[in-house]
């Protein structure tokens, strides 16, 4: 094992690592690690004071153990002690440990902050660097609170070393990212902009990164950076490659800085000053020209560096979208890359071209590459590249090439990787609808989709084809004929049976004249698929059958026989049984007139955009994958967007007035007790995944829930036996809730089991962790349960708390909604009037705003309202709204995946006793949910 | 912004992980596993970019990776980073890590060689040769990484800070590292003799 000797720094560590590597089994490894942990623990606890070197060695071992995936729950104190060592190596290991294994233990954070403070003040650049790195790597709110004021000073101080300036810039950037509200803007901003002129290119690079992020949120404040960035860029681009010495990389002058500068410029529109603009255009042209020159080196590093700059320049050209000449050149350049032998370049070219396709100047130029892109789709070995090709085809699609592109995508779908099939299905569905001139083509395309990739066709897609067929009478006959033919395939996908069942039920009469598709043939065809289908589809088919009874009186007998059979009338599934019984009864007792009224053809759906398409149109740009992801997410929230065919026919039976007598006459058997029929399973039922024994929400649960929107503590539920109290606190995207269960009686509760129930959707967005509580609760006693909460992404529903226990001989079952709402993850943001309105304007897309006008439910008291807005979590901004009677607030919703800025405005109208509430956030679902929550409060 | 930097070997064993966003320890391990799963099933010679896994933020993020001998170097970045830039960064970091931690020619040789072959596009011709070398010196670079975990972290810290690229000029980085090494050496003589050191 010659390598062991290389661990010359610390022999003990090297031996330990070798031991681990020589372990033959996982068990042996764990045993060795536990032995070591025990050893370290005893060393740390021992009487003998450890010297710095030993501490360093043991902390190193802990780091290694952590890397192998084992929890480390001690050693933090020793690491913190190392921070105050005067030896570089010890201090450095201490910082390394802290930044890898930071612990939110507040006691410790204070000590760490103290050590950092000392190092920052030490004037020793190495120590300052370590401290700044630690702040940047941990970046917690506590650290921001402690240092956000100090770091700008270090950054702009004249005597700070270059390397420290570099670190300070990035450290500040990190703190701004995590806690923008804690980083004060001030005099230092203009001095930071001037760092773009610094002699040290490392400082310039770091400053550019910082300014880019700051400028995105405060464009006015950093406007002067544009001309400085352009002149800096121009100096780099036009310099001979030797001028920049160390920063020249394989003959490319300062590629990294060029990329950063080009990124910064993408925060702003094209410069207004003609001189600056001319200079920038020169730079961009120079970069494009260089791409045409023969390479100065064959090394991949040379071409990577050169192309990194080139791609960034092209992004800027696309962002400005104002120079047709440059846009077309960019497009040609990308066209060359599409056929490059380097896979990475092909990937990036496809990606950039996607954005280029949305510019009116270059859309046509992009379209000329269609054959190359289609070829890429067919021949690329790499799925990532093929995915980009699909994206580009989607972006370049318009009326002129839709048929070709859709056909190519369909044929690709047959062999596509499973991971991207659903996405392609959505894309094909959107394109087919968007560019359909001829709706027969649209129907064919969707049926093809179902045939090729039925499993990946979501409900939304087949709902949509039905909406369109019902609303366009010119395509109904064709649709009926086509589905009838498609259903004749020996094996067809269940989705096709659904579409077929629905369409024939509505429009089967349009093809009944043809003896090949006589009513009886249609019925037999559908019924031959019946037994292969799932319950929801069978339910839909039963509705089709009753519709047939109305359309074709001649098959009534046959259908009644089917409905009467034991397999229908006594079906174990409640929904199917109910439908069979009711439909059979309806067909027997109702006159033809009543039947015709009840089973009339579905009225046209209100013209509305499909939610996938609506999503698409919002963004003028090409739809990226993200769009579709969102569309997919939205789909699950928006089940009602589709026409739930089965339900529609059921309600046609039970709601319209003629049927009211019918139900009385019909003496249908009482609906078996149990959960309400889940309407054919087509609707997402909140409780569908929970055990059937869960009680419905306790009365008053909604009201209690609403009371907790603006406060965190109080009594959530109370009856004669049980009281449930809550105490909770939230910080950023995390929270902790204590639930107190009080036994109000003098008898023990047995088998006491509280359960938290989240729907699948909610589970993905909100993570709850808790431990079970003691199953017995003595009379008069109180037990406590802690729930750790993390908001992963924005969410709408609330978790349900179900409590089951035995009291005396009886089983008790209580469900309440647990008030964990999106606004709990608010962090208030203070801002001046000017900033507020500027941001307000930035969020002016219609889908970013949600407004609600509602009647006051409580007396309209200004102070109470203020308290509620603050309790809601946002900052209450004074002197912002020109009308002093209005209330204005701002804050940031923290989730693990994103931070969402929120602005709100509440306008009371005392005379009318009404309020108007307006929410603007960068995310539609957030605006929507916050508006719902807050409007319930007044 | 760089969200995370991960190094693991062909079997998915983590060799270095650095997260620039707070994740629980558990999630960190899951992210490593997920990323390994995504990256390891890809062929050699396909492109170096792919969409990030769900745990680290889904398709808004990209994984940019390189595979050297027994190791995967993966950077998870958001859309604000230049793909080619990061790719290059990985390469520079890798080679400089090697130069600074393993001094023997044997350590560096096969990796350099395989890299050069890759660049020249003659990998297939020499593949057998490289594979033999890799076998002879199996895990050489891995060992270097894990025995010098602190040094690799150090070099990384000089390049990336809080998820942002700090310095790209290798000479600058080398100067910093050299200064640190000098400091370290000046402190070493105080330590006890290595024999009693367990």
Q: What is the CA radius of gyration of chain A?
A: 34
List pLDDT tens digits, range A619-668.
323 334 333 334 333 333 333 333 333 333 333 333 333 333 333 333 33
At residue A287, the pLDDT reads: 93
Q: Which residues contact A706 (CB under 8 A, 6 or more apart)?
A: A936, A937
Q: Measured between alpha carbons, how far is B163 from A99 in angstroms, rounded to an integer?
A: 13
Q: Using a CB-CB distance cutoff of 8 angstroms, which residues of chain A are in contact with residue B167?
A: 166, 202, 205
* Consecutive H or E run containing A900: strand A899-909
Q: Are strands A714-718 and A722-731 parallel, antiparallel or unpaired?
A: antiparallel
Phi and psi (nearest 5°) for A816?
Answer: -135, 155
Residue reference for tokens 């429009």:
A507
By the 8 A CB rule, do A511 and A482 touch?
Answer: no
Minimal C-alpha gap between A724 and chain B (Å):
30
- Paired residues of A889 in beta bridges: A876, A904
At residue B146, the pLDDT reads: 55
Q: Measured between alpha carbons, how far is B91 from B73 in angstroms, rounded to an integer?
A: 9
SS3 A253: strand
pTM of the predicted model as reported, rounded to 2 decimal places: 0.62
Q: Which residues 744-803 on chain A approach chain B with CB closer than 8 angstroms?
A: none
Within an 8 Å CB–CB cutoff, is residue A623 touching chain B? no
Q: Is A667 left (phi over 0), alpha (psi -120 to 50) or beta?
A: left
Within an 8 Å CB–CB cutoff, is residue B163 touching chain A? yes
SS3 A188: helix
Give the residue, A328 or B60, on which the prediction is more confident: A328
Is A12's CB within 8 Å of B197's CB? yes
SS3 A490: coil
Q: Measured between alpha carbons, how far is A674 from A368 in angstroms, rounded to an integer?
A: 62
SS3 A801: strand
SS3 A445: helix
Q: Using a CB-CB distance cutoff of 8 angstroms, which residues of chain A are in contact with residue B140?
A: 3
Tokens coding A710: 């603006």
Determine how many CB atoms are found less than 10 A away from the CB of residue A648. Answer: 16
Phi and psi (nearest 5°) for A76?
Answer: -60, -40
**Angle between helix A924-935 and helix A862-872 axes, rounded to 10 deg:** 140
Phi and psi (nearest 5°) for A323?
Answer: -115, 95
- Residue to substitute from B11, B26, B30, B47, interface A, most A β-carbons within 10 A: B47
By the 8 A CB rule, do A926 and A891 touch?
Answer: no
Q: In whole angstroms, what separates CA A199 from the centre of its chain?
A: 42
Nearest to A629 among B16, B58, B91 (CB): B58
Within an 8 Å CB–CB cutoff, is residue B125 touching chain A? no
At residue A89, the pLDDT reads: 79
At residue A649, the pLDDT reads: 36
Q: What is the DSSP letter of A25?
A: S
Is B161's CB within 8 Å of A68's CB? no
SS3 A845: coil
Nearest to B87 among A174, A304, A385 (CB): A304
Tokens coding A874: 């946002």
At residue A2, the pLDDT reads: 34
Q: Using a CB-CB distance cutoff of 8 angstroms, which residues of chain A are in contact with residue B197?
A: 10-12, 57
Q: What is the DSSP letter of A665?
A: H
Judging by beta carbons within 10 Å of its beta carbon (0-12, 13-18, 19+), is residue A801 exposed, middle or buried? buried
By the 8 A CB rule, do A908 and A801 touch?
Answer: no
Judging by beta carbons within 10 Å of its beta carbon (0-12, 13-18, 19+), is residue A736 exposed, middle or buried? middle
Q: Which residues 54-73 on chain A approach chain B with CB closer than 8 angstroms?
A: 57, 60, 63-64, 66-69, 71
Determine how many CB atoms are found less than 10 A away from the CB of residue A488. Answer: 12
Q: Which residues 312-331 on chain A approach chain B with CB closer than 8 angstroms?
A: 312
Q: Which residues contact A461 (CB under 8 A, 6 or more apart)?
A: A425, A426, A429, A446, A449
Nearest alpha carbon to residue A571 among A545, A604, A539, A596: A539
Q: Is the dihedral of CA A69, A72, A78, A84 positive or negative?
A: positive
Tokens coding A586: 């309806």
**Angle between helix A343-356 and helix A370-379 axes, rounded to 10 deg:** 140
Is A126's CB within 8 Å of B14's CB? no
Is B168's CB within 8 Å of A247's CB? yes
Within an 8 Å CB–CB cutoff, is residue B80 touching chain A? yes
By the 8 A CB rule, do A645 and A502 touch?
Answer: yes
By the 8 A CB rule, do B173 and B155 touch?
Answer: yes
- Paired residues of B74 in beta bridges: B6, B65
SS3 A266: coil
Is A246's CB within 8 Å of B88's CB? no
Give the residue, B186 or A739, on which the prediction is more confident: A739
At residue B110, the pLDDT reads: 31
Q: What is the DSSP letter of A554?
A: G
What is the number of CB-based contacts under 8 A between chain A and chain B?
A: 188
Q: Measured between alpha carbons, how far is A232 from B67 in angstroms, rounded to an integer?
A: 36
How crowded is the C-beta side of B104, counted as CA atoms within 13 Å?
A: 12
Within an 8 Å CB–CB cutoff, is residue A311 touching chain B? yes
Phi and psi (nearest 5°) for A541?
Answer: -65, -35
Tokens coding A49: 């004071």
Is B51's CB within 8 Å of A381's CB? no
SS3 A757: strand
Nearest to B46 among A173, A249, A382 (CB): A382
How crowded is the C-beta side of A856, counted as CA atoms within 13 Å?
A: 17
Q: Is the dihedral of CA B155, B157, B158, B161 positive or negative?
A: positive
Within an 8 Å CB–CB cutoff, is residue A391 touching chain B? no
Tokens coding A8: 């010359």
Q: Which residues contact A332 (CB under 8 A, 6 or more apart)?
A: A365
Q: In whole angstroms, what separates CA A33 from the centre of its chain?
A: 39
By the 8 A CB rule, do A625 and A443 touch?
Answer: no
**Angle between helix A625-637 and helix A418-434 axes, rounded to 10 deg:** 90
Q: Measured between alpha carbons, how far is A856 from A123 in angstroms, rounded to an integer?
A: 60
Q: Using a CB-CB distance cutoff of 8 angstroms, which residues of chain A are in contact with residue B88?
A: 249, 255, 301, 304-305, 308
At residue B152, the pLDDT reads: 65
Q: Measured between alpha carbons, how far is A906 from A864 in angstroms, rounded to an integer?
A: 13
At residue A515, the pLDDT reads: 87
Judging by beta carbons within 10 Å of its beta carbon (0-12, 13-18, 19+), is residue A399 exposed, middle or buried? exposed
By the 8 A CB rule, do A929 and A794 touch?
Answer: yes
Nearest alpha carbon to residue B166 among A818, A168, A905, A930: A168
Burial B161-187 (b: 16+ CB within 10 A, else e): bbbbbbbbbbebbeebbeebeeebeeb
Nearest alpha carbon to residue A450 among A463, A467, A437: A463
* Consecutive H or E run containing A541: helix A535-551
Q: Which residues contact A128 (CB under 8 A, 6 or more apart)?
A: A119, A120, A122, A154, A164, A167
List pLDDT tens digits, range A113-143.
999 999 999 888 889 988 998 888 888 888 8
Spans in chain A with pLDDT lower than 50:
1-8, 615-692
Q: Measured between alpha carbons, how far is A564 from A549 in angstroms, rounded to an integer?
A: 14
Tokens coding A64: 């290694």
Judging by beta carbons within 10 Å of its beta carbon (0-12, 13-18, 19+), is residue A917 exposed, middle or buried? buried
Q: Which residues contact A362 (CB under 8 A, 6 or more apart)?
A: A324, A327, A328, A330, A331, A356
Is A167's CB within 8 Å of B161's CB? yes
Minimal C-alpha gap between A205 and chain B (Å):
8
- Residue to substitute from B166, B174, B190, interface A, most A β-carbons within 10 A: B166
Nearest to B60 among A7, A63, A626 (CB): A626
Q: Using a CB-CB distance cutoff of 8 angstroms, which residues of chain B are in contact with residue A89?
A: 183-184, 187
3-state secondary structure A856-876: CCCCCCHHHHHHHHHHHCCEE
Minimal C-alpha gap between B128 and chain A (Å):
23
């Amino acid at each position: 094992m010659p390598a062991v000797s290389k661990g010359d720094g610390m022999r003990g560590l090297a031996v330990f690592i070798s031991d681990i590597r020589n372990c033959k089994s996982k068990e042996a490894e764990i045993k060795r690690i536990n032995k070591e942990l025990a050893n370290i623990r005893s060393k740390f606890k021992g009487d003998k004071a450890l010297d710095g070197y030993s501490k360093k060695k043991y902390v190193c071992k802990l780091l290694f153990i952590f890397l192998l995936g084992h929890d480390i729950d001690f050693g933090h104190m020793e690491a913190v002690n190392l921070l105050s060592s005067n030896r570089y190596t010890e201090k450095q290991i201490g910082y390394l440990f802290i930044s890898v294994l930071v612990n939110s233990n507040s006691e410790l954070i204070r000590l760490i902050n103290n050590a950092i403070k000392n190092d920052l003040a030490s004037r020793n650049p190495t120590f300052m660097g370590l401290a700044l790195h630690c702040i940047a790597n941990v970046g917690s709110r506590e650290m921001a609170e402690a240092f956000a004021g100090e770091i700008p000073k270090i950054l702009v101080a004249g005597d700070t070393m270059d390397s420290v300036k570099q670190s300070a810039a990035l450290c500040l950037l990190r703190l701004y990212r995590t806690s923008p509200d804690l980083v004060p803007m001030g005099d230092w901003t203009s001095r930071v902009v001037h760092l773009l002129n610094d002699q040290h290119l490392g400082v310039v690079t770091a400053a550019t990164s910082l300014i880019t992020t700051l400028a995105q949120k405060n464009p006015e404040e950093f406007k002067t950076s544009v001309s400085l960035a352009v002149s800096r860029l121009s100096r780099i681009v036009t310099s001979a490659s030797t001028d920049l010495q160390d920063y020249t990389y394989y003959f490319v002058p300062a590629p990294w800085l060029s990329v950063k500068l080009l990124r910064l410029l993408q925060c702003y529109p094209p410069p207004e000053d003609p001189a600056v603009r001319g200079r920038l255009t020169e730079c961009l042209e120079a970069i494009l020209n260089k791409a045409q020159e023969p390479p100065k080196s064959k090394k991949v590093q040379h071409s990577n560096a050169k192309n990194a700059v080139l791609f960034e320049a092209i992004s800027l050209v696309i962002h400005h979208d104002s120079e047709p000449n440059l846009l077309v050149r960019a497009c040609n350049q990308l066209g060359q890359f599409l056929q490059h032998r380097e896979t990475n370049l092909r990937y990036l070219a496809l990606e950039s071209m996607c954005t280029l396709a949305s510019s009116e100047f270059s859309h046509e130029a992009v379209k000329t590459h269609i054959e190359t892109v289609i070829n890429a789709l067919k021949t690329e070995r790499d799925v990532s590249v093929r995915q980009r090709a699909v994206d580009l085809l989607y972006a370049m699609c318009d009326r002129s090439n839709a048929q070709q592109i859709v056909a190519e995508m369909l044929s690709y779908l047959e062999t596509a990787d499973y991971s991207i099939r659903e996405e392609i299905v959505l894309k094909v569905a959107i394109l087919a609808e968007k560019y359909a001139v001829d709706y027969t083509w649209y129907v064919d395309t969707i049926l093809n989709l179902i045939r090729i990739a039925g499993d990946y066709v979501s409900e939304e897609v087949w709902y949509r084809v039905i909406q369109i067929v019902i609303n366009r009478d010119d395509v109904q006959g064709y649709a009926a004929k086509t589905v009838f033919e498609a259903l004749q395939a020996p094996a067809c996908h269940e989705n096709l049976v659904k579409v077929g069942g629905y369409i024939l039920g509505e429009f089967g009469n349009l093809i009944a004249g043809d003896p090949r598709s006589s009513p009886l043939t249609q019925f037999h065809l559908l019924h031959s698929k019946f037994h292969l289908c799932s319950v929801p589809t069978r339910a839909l088919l039963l509705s089709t059958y009753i519709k047939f009874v109305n359309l074709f009186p001649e098959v009534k007998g046959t259908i009644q026989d089917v409905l009467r059979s034991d397999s229908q009338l006594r079906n174990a599934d409640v929904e199917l049984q109910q439908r069979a019984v009711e439909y059979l009864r309806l067909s027997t007792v109702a006159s033809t007139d009543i039947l015709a009224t009840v089973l009339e053809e579905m009225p046209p759906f209100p013209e509305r955009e499909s939610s996938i398409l609506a999503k698409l149109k919002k963004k003028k740009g090409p739809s990226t994958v993200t769009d579709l992801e969102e569309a997919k997410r939205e789909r699950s929230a928006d089940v009602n967007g589709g026409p739930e065919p089965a339900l529609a026919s059921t309600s046609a039976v039970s709601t319209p007035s003629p049927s009211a007598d019918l139900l009385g006459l019909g003496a249908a058997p009482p609906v078996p007790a149990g959960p309400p029929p889940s309407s054919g399973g087509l609707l997402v039922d909140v409780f569908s995944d929970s055990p059937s024994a869960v009680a419905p929400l306790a009365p008053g649960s909604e009201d209690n829930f609403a009371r907790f929107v603006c406060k965190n503590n109080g009594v959530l539920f109370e009856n004669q036996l049980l009281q449930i109290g809550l105490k909770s606190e939230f910080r950023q995207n995390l929270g902790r809730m204590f639930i107190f269960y009080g036994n109000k009686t003098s008898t023990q509760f047995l088998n006491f089991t509280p359960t938290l129930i989240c729907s699948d959707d909610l589970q993905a967005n909100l993570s709850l962790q808790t431990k079970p509580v003691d199953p017995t609760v003595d009379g008069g006693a109180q037990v406590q349960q802690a729930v750790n909460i993390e908001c992963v992404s924005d969410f709408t529903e609330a978790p349900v708390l179900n409590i089951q226990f035995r009291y005396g001989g009886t089983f008790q079952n209580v469900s309440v909604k647990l008030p964990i709402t999106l606004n709990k993850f608010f962090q208030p943001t203070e801002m001046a009037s000017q900033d507020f309105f500027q941001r307000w304007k930035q969020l002016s897309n219609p889908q970013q705003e949600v407004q609600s006008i509602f009647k006051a439910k409580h007396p309209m008291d200004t102070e109470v309202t203020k308290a509620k807005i603050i309790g809601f979590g946002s900052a209450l901004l004074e002197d912002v709204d020109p009308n002093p009677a209005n209330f204005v607030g701002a804050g940031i919703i923290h989730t693990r995946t994103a931070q969402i800025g929120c602005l709100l405005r509440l306008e009371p109208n005392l005379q009318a006793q009404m309020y108007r509430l307006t929410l603007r956030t960068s995310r539609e679902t957030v605006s929507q949910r916050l508006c719902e929550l807050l409007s319930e409060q007044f | 912004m760089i969200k995370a930097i991960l190094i693991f070997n062909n079997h998915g064993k983590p060799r270095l992980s650095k997260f620039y966003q707070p994740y629980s320890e558990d999630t960190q391990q899951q992210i490593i596993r997920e990323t390994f799963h995504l990256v390891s099933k890809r062929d050699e010679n396909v492109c170096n970019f792919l969409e990030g896994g769900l745990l680290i933020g889904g398709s808004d993020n990209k994984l940019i990776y390189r595979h050297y001998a027994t190791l995967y170097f993966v950077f998870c970045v958001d859309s604000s980073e230049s793909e080619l830039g990061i790719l290059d960064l990985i390469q520079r970091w890798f080679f400089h890590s090697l130069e600074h931690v393993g001094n023997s020619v044997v350590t560096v040789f096969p990796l350099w060689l395989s890299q050069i072959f890759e660049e020249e596009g003659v990998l297939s011709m020499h593949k057998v040769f490289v594979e033999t070398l890799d076998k002879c010196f199996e895990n050489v670079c891995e060992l270097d990484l894990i025995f010098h975990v602190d040094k690799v972290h150090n070099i990384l810290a000089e390049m990336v800070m809080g998820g942002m690229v700090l310095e790209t000029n290798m000479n600058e980085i080398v100067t910093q590292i050299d200064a640190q090494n000098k400091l370290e050496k000046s402190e070493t003589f105080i330590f006890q003799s290595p024999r009693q050191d367990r």
